[in-house]
Amino acid sequence: MKSINDTYTLSNGLNIPCLGFGTYNPKGGDNCKIIRTAMEAGYRYFDTASLYGTERALGQAVKESGIDRKELFIASKVWIDEMGYTETKQAFE
């Protein structure tokens, strides 16, 4: 990796940035602002999970950023007690 903009090509042809921004327990108060600052710095891959409690802040940051959603790679995970078809759907709601 030579740049924050470098990517890996997945087997389905999609590109994933080499470097992601983790949203777990960000310090400093305003999670939306923190994530937006990461976007301004060039991050396009964001890692979140229901356990982190930052999914809404990430969504708001995407909306406020003006960056086309197609330019962003977002990974969200479910916690162990949310596994299963119905539980996972509920967690993502």
- Other Cβ atoms closer than 10 A to 4: 14
User: What is the mean pLDDT of the segment spanning 55-59?
Assistant: 92
pLDDT for 38:
95
Return the amino acid letter for 51. L
pLDDT for 80:
87
Find the angle CA(60)-CA(66)-CA(68) to the nearest 5 degrees: 100
Q: Is 7 helix (H, G, I), strand (E, B) or coil?
A: strand
- Percent of residues, the chain, with pLDDT higher than 90: 62
The better pLDDT of the pair 16, 53 is held by 16
User: What is the mean pLDDT of the segment spanning 73-90?
Assistant: 89
**What are the tokens at 19?**
């470097």
Residues carrying an active site annotation: 52
Provide CB contacts within 8 A for 50, sequence distance 6+.
Answer: 76, 77, 78, 79, 82, 91, 92
Calculate the average pLDDT of the chain.
Answer: 90
- Other Cβ atoms closer than 10 A to 8: 10
